[in-house]
Amino acid sequence: MLAYFLKRTVLMVPTLLLVALMVFLLVHLIPGDPAIVMVGAEADPAAIENIRRSLGLDQPLPIQFIDWFGRLLSGDFGKSITSGIPVLETILERFPTTLVLTTLAMLFSVAIAIPSGVLAAKFRNTGKDYLFMLVSLIGVSVPGFWLGLMGLLVFSVQLGWFPSSGYVPVWQDFWQGLNYMTLPSITLGFFMAAVVARMTRSSMLEVMRLEYVTHARAKGLSEWTVLLKHALKNAFAPTLTTIGIQYGMLLGGAVVTETVFGLPGLGRFVVQSIYGRDYPAVQGCILFIALVYMFVNLAVDVLYKVFDPRVKF
Amino acid sequence: MFPVLKIDDLQTHFFTRTGIAKAIDGVGFHIDKGEIVCVVGESGCGKSMTALSVLRLVPHPGRIVGGEIWLDGQNLMAFSEREMREVRGDRVSMIFQEPMVSLNPAFTIGNQLIEAVRVHRKASRAEAWERSVEMLRRVDLPSPEARMNAYPHELSGGMRQRVMIAEALLLDPVLLLADEPTTALDVTVQAQVLDVMVRAARESGTAVMMITHNLAVVSEIADRVVVMYAGRVVEQGTTEEIFTRPAHPYTQGLLRAIPTLSTAAEDDAPRQPLYEMGGLVPSLTDLPPGCAFCPRCSAAIDLCAAQKPPAFPLGETHAAACWLRRTEG
Ligand SMILES: Nc1ncnc2c1ncn2[C@@H]1O[C@H](COP(=O)(O)OP(=O)(O)OP(=O)(O)O)[C@@H](O)[C@H]1O
Ligand SMILES: [Mg+2]
């Protein structure tokens, strides 16, 4: 178990190298030059060249990459070009907001998805099931930003249930903070809820055909015990994998949600950094998010054994 | 005295897209207290569905559409779902064919046994644990305490089936439905597991409806035999009657299909080819109007194709649904 954990952690290094390379290339492929962004296009070419040299941007790309990745390995994410603040410092300051947002979104979606997936499976091929399938189809088709804007319009502006601007972190004032987070996390989690619910439904249906479910009924258990104990625990293992994968989608979706709702999270910082061609900041953030995603999936794989004891590490 | 189980003109049909499959089309037989009755017949003839019909657990799109099922003189067809739940696992339990997939892989053996006790009895976890271990010991499962904490995949097929037997007999049911309990096991363990099941059932006075393909097993354990073909009972009688005086051409064919000990042993003797019945089982969605076996029967007369034969009594306990056995009156 511990050995497995260590092995997986070590295996993250090559993955991380690959991600780092891709991030680096993608970021440098974005047209535009940070030096020009900083001083303006009309500035003296000599001044621009000066800045480029001070940022190390005059070096060939491979050198820049090795330089960056080398320092990364020792935990140095570099400094932001625009603000001069160490990138890691900003990440650690902003990530908690994103973590709270995505965690709430995940909790919300799982809380909605599992029961509705189970119910849809129980009432398969009836009106209730078709309604569920329709709603979940809408759920996976509606773009996140549109849903966010609609949510803001209806629940914040029209009904006034939630604040439409401003932000209080949950760790300062839990209830107040939750109030600010509700709408964003529901918006963000809606897509995932639809995906996870569909997955729950199909793996429930898969499991419900199996003999041990008939066996459970033959023991005299109530239909709910059969479904919620015997079927769901088995159906949850594949669902869990989906949840792990979807968490990556949440981290990506957070960029849009944070922008729509004006939350000071990591996603919005990435967007700002891209505008500023702030290479170290963009690269650092994306790499950090990739790392978080890898750990979430490691956790999912370890948790998998709880639901499927046949798995060996 | 009521029989433990009495099935009367049972009809269980599957409503599929391609039509109505009459998986069970008028089955009737009974099982007395403590008796072992074997149900035999080719794959797909409705043996499993008969057992599941008794528990009223026929899977979708199947449904019991007619007939009566009596347990100890009570009509199960009139029971509410709630009352049926009290019957299942307590008065009637079932053992499934595939021990690999009939135990839940996500829960320990102990969890599943204790659950089986506690659905029906007011027992503490400790009491249920005691009772389960006791039962595992009775089916000769080695180190039963340790096995309680094991997951099904950690046991061999034979051990799993012992666990199934233990679970099925935990609450001393009046009837055990055993659906090919040893078919999926290694030949070497089949006999042991069967032996354990029969012994444990006899000890608790449980009647057994045993579904099997294996006629050698039938001759060894059965008190009476029910022969099914295409959703109907074609012949029933005591084991002796069926094996020595088979009356239905289908039963006769089945018996001819078993290699006898003598032909297997005499290596020098010219080997007799295994008898195989020609023809195919008719589609259950499109049964012929007469006897379902008629298309494969070499002795068929005109009447066979035209009209469904009722069960003609041939003795106190013996009956065959065959026009050739028609008795006057
Ligand atoms: N899910 C289903 N959908 C449609 N028809 C079904 C279904 N399950 C069973 N049947 C029908 O019921 C018939 C009887 O099935 P059953 O499982 O009782 O056969 P069996 O005698 O137990 O065969 P086996 O020896 O292979 O276990 C089948 O031939 C099939 O036509
Ligand atoms: Mg069967």
Q: Where are the domains of chain A?
A: 2-73, 94-307
How sure is the predictor about A39, in pLDDT bands with cuts at 50, 70 and 90?
A: confident
Task: Choose between A141 and B51: higher pLDDT.
Answer: B51
**Cα angle A194, A199, A201; round to 5:** 95
- pTM, 2 dp: 0.84
| Percent with pLDDT over 70 in chain A | 100
SS3 call for A82: coil
Domain residue limits, chain B: 1-32+42-86+222-258+284-329
* Chain A residues near residue B107 by CB distance under 8 angstroms: 230, 233
Q: What is the DSSP string of A31-74?
A: SS-HHHHHH-TTS-HHHHHHHHHHHTTTS-HHHHHHHHHHHHHT
CB-CB: which of A218, A222, A230 is closest to B93? A218
pLDDT of the residue at B287: 82
B89 at A interface, C-beta within 8 A: yes
pLDDT of the residue at A70: 87
Please state the separation of Cα B72 from the chain's center in Å.
18
Predicted ipTM? 0.89
Instruction: Quick: pLDDT tens for B110-120.
Output: 999 999 999 99
B217: closest CA of chain A, how far (Å): 24
Q: What's the CATH fold of domain A94-307?
A: MetI-like fold (1.10.3720)
Residue B264 exposure: Cα atoms within 13 Å on the Cβ side: 5
Query: Of A114, A260, A240, A241, which is closest to residue A185 (Cα–Cα)?
Result: A260
Nearest CA owner, ligand 1 atom 29:
B44
* Chain B residues near residue A233 by CB distance under 8 angstroms: 104, 106-107
Please state the separation of Cα B240 from the chain's center in Å.
19
Tokens of A153: 């319009």
Rg of chain A in Å (alpha carbons) = 23
Q: Closest ligand 1 atom, CA of B284?
A: 31
CB–CB contact A221 B102 (8 Å)? no
* Chain B residues near residue A221 by CB distance under 8 angstroms: 85, 89, 115, 119
pLDDT of the residue at B271: 43
Asked if A163 contacts A179 with a C-beta cutoff of 8 angstroms, the reply is: yes
B94 at A interface, C-beta within 8 A: yes
Task: Evaluate if residue A71 carries a pLDDT over 70.
Answer: yes
pLDDT of the residue at A50: 82
In single-letter form, the type of residue at position B131 comes to: R
Instruction: Quick: pLDDT tens for A84-108.
Output: 899 999 999 999 999 999 999 999 9
- Measured N-to-C along each axis, helices A279-307 and A61-73 cross at an angle, to the nearest 10 degrees, of 50
Asked if B196 contacts B164 with a C-beta cutoff of 8 angstroms, the reply is: no
Give phi and psi for A268, each to the nearest 5.
-65, -35
Centroid of ligand 1 to alpha carbon of B33 (angstroms): 28
Ligand 1 within 6 A of B96 CB?
A: no
B7, B42, B48: residue to mutate for ligand 1 pocket, most atoms within 8 A of CB: B48
pLDDT in tens, chain B (329 residues): 789 999 999 999 999 998 899 999 999 999 999 999 999 998 889 999 999 999 999 998 999 999 999 999 999 999 999 999 999 999 999 999 888 889 999 999 999 999 999 999 999 999 999 999 999 999 999 999 999 999 999 999 999 999 999 999 999 999 999 999 988 888 888 888 899 999 999 998 999 999 998 898 999 999 999 999 999 999 999 999 999 999 999 999 888 876 655 444 444 444 444 455 666 777 888 888 889 898 888 888 888 888 999 999 999 999 999 999 887 65
pLDDT of the residue at B278: 67
Integer angstrom CA distances of residue B185 from A37, A50, B190 = 75, 80, 6
Asked if B287 contacts B25 with a C-beta cutoff of 8 angstroms, the reply is: yes
Asked if B96 contacts B111 with a C-beta cutoff of 8 angstroms, the reply is: no
Phi-psi region of B5 (alpha: psi -120 to 50; beta: other; left: phi over 0): beta
Query: Of B78, B85, B23, which is closest to residue B49 (Cα–Cα)?
Result: B23
pLDDT of the residue at B274: 45
* Chain A residues near residue B93 by CB distance under 8 angstroms: 218-219
Ligand 1 within 6 A of B282 CB?
A: no
Give phi and psi for B185, each to the nearest 5.
-95, 165
Ligand 1 within 6 A of B284 CB?
A: yes
Give phi and psi for B270, each to the nearest 5.
-60, 125
CB-CB: which of B88, B102, B107 is closest to A220? B88
Query: Of A311, A240, A215, which is closest to residue B100 (Cα–Cα)?
Result: A215
B118 at A interface, C-beta within 8 A: no
Class of the domain covering B1-32+42-86+222-258+284-329: alpha beta
CB–CB contact B115 A234 (8 Å)? no
pLDDT of the residue at A16: 87
Identify the contact set of chain A against chain B, taking CB-CB distances under 8 A.
Answer: 210-212, 214-222, 230, 233-234, 307-310
- Residue appearing with tokens 């006897």: B291
A127: closest CA of chain B, how far (Å): 17
A218: closest CA of chain B, how far (Å): 5
pLDDT of the residue at B318: 94
CB-CB: which of B59, B106, B116 is closest to A219? B116
Task: Evaluate if residue A54 carries a pLDDT over 70.
Answer: yes
Q: Closest ligand 1 atom, CA of B21?
A: 31
Asked if B179 contacts B95 with a C-beta cutoff of 8 angstroms, the reply is: yes
- Rounded Cα gap, residues B11 and A143, in angstroms: 52
B18, B39, B49, B250: residue to mutate for ligand 1 pocket, most atoms within 8 A of CB: B49
CB-CB: which of A220, A230, A309 is closest to B119? A220
